[in-house]
Amino acid sequence: MTLKKDLISIKHLCKADVEHILKRAESLEDVARGERSLDLLSGYILATLFYEPSTRTRLSFETAMKRLGGTTIDLGSIDISSVSKGETLADTIRVVEGYADCIVLRHPKEGAAAMAAEFTSKPLINAGDGAAHHPTQTLLDLYTMKRESKLEGVKIALAGDLKYGRTVHSLVFALSMFNAKISFVSPPQLAMPDGIKNDLTAMGIEFEETEYIEDVIDDIDVLYMTRIQKERFADINEYNKVAGAYRIEAKYLTGVRDNFIIMHPLPRINEIDPDVDDTPYAKYFEQSFYGVPVRMALLLTLLGK
């Protein structure tokens, strides 16, 4: 097991680590649903430090902790904390580690989590550091594929904003462990960066690129949609054209595979029409829920339980 004190990046995990966490998550799913009680973290405190808001990630960690009998403390929104008095992140971490057994950190700056982890002897989990990493999102994405479609050898299309999307960059690395066949579907101005494509080629991972979802939709197990942010476009007309093209509706799903599923890290805005929600392919709300058992498994592992 290469997973030691902290989880900063999915790149620090080997395939055995990932498989261990996913397997443990599966055994905890009934606890996550509240169908079985488990008090393994009774007496333990998780501190959540969100230097930028991420409601669902925070709530998901809180629920994971509480379903295991633990409790949480929250730093609160940054403008009302001592951060506004000019305290460094290093100092805040050294204070908070006196109040908790484990720390979850979301921070807008790339590298913040790795730096923070050096200042505490308690386990620290990166819940997103700028455009860099968000490893628990990647783990729950993998878990969703395993539970709802397939993971090993999965044929997956990543669609939407592949240039700026932190989620898809981490996911691509993780998929490479599982011999995935990847299609990148994006408008040219939001294409997957060359650096990541070069890495894939070096690792011998197959991938293809296209501009249209319809080119791939009938031949994949998983369609992973992402949000295209208006602020990426200088011209609103350009945005509207792209946003329209990267919107899934139920009528496009007539020829898909049996185990086909649609995933989305949420929140969605216009990328998926609500008429898709009632199809058997819509798994984005399950995906969101799967954050709970996956984070439970991770907390137990990092806390040595």
Q: Which of 92/167 has CB closer to a second copy?
A: 92
CB of 64 to a second copy, least distance (A): 9
The per-residue DSSP string of 140-187 comes to HHHHHHHHHS--TT-EEEEES--SS-HHHHHHHHHHHHTT-EEEEE--
Among the residue ranges 79-87, 106-114, 209-217, 218-226, the one whose residues contact a second copy (CB under 8 A): 79-87
The C-alpha angle 92, 54, 27, rounded to 5 degrees, equals 100
Q: Which of 69/130 has CB closer to a second copy?
A: 69
Q: Establish if 59 lies at the interface with a second copy (CB under 8 A).
A: yes
What are 128's two structure tokens? Answer: 């997103």
Residue 286's alpha-carbon distances to 38, 63, 64, in angstroms, are 22, 15, 15
Q: Which of 27/77 has CB closer to a second copy?
A: 77
The answer to whether 20 is a known catalytic residue is: no
Q: Establish if 148 lies at the interface with a second copy (CB under 8 A).
A: no
Closest C-alpha to 135, from 149, 151, 124: 124
Q: Establish if 85 lies at the interface with a second copy (CB under 8 A).
A: yes
Binding mask 36-55 for a second copy (x = CB under 8 A): -x----xxxx-x-----xxx
Residue 77's alpha-carbon distances to 93, 100, 300, in angstroms, are 15, 18, 27
What are 282's two structure tokens? Answer: 């819509």
Q: Establish if 268 lies at the interface with a second copy (CB under 8 A).
A: yes
Contact by Cβ (8 Å): 105, 125: yes
CB of 122 to a second copy, least distance (A): 10
Q: Which of 14/266 has CB closer to a second copy?
A: 266
CA atoms within 13 A on the CB side of 286: 18
Q: Which of 155/247 has CB closer to a second copy?
A: 247
The answer to whether 57 is a known catalytic residue is: yes
The answer to whether 247 is a known catalytic residue is: no
User: How crowded is residue 196: how many other Cβ atoms within 10 Å of its Cβ?
Assistant: 17
Q: Establish if 16 lies at the interface with a second copy (CB under 8 A).
A: no
Contact by Cβ (8 Å): 111, 132: yes
CB of 230 to a second copy, least distance (A): 10
Q: Establish if 267 lies at the interface with a second copy (CB under 8 A).
A: yes
Pairing of strands 181-185, 261-263: unpaired
Catalytic residues: 56-57, 85, 106, 134
Q: Which residues bind a second copy (CB under 8 A)?
A: 34, 37, 42-45, 47, 53-56, 58-60, 62-63, 66-67, 69, 71, 73, 75-77, 80-82, 84-87, 90-92, 94-96, 98-101, 266-269, 274, 285-286, 288-289, 291-292
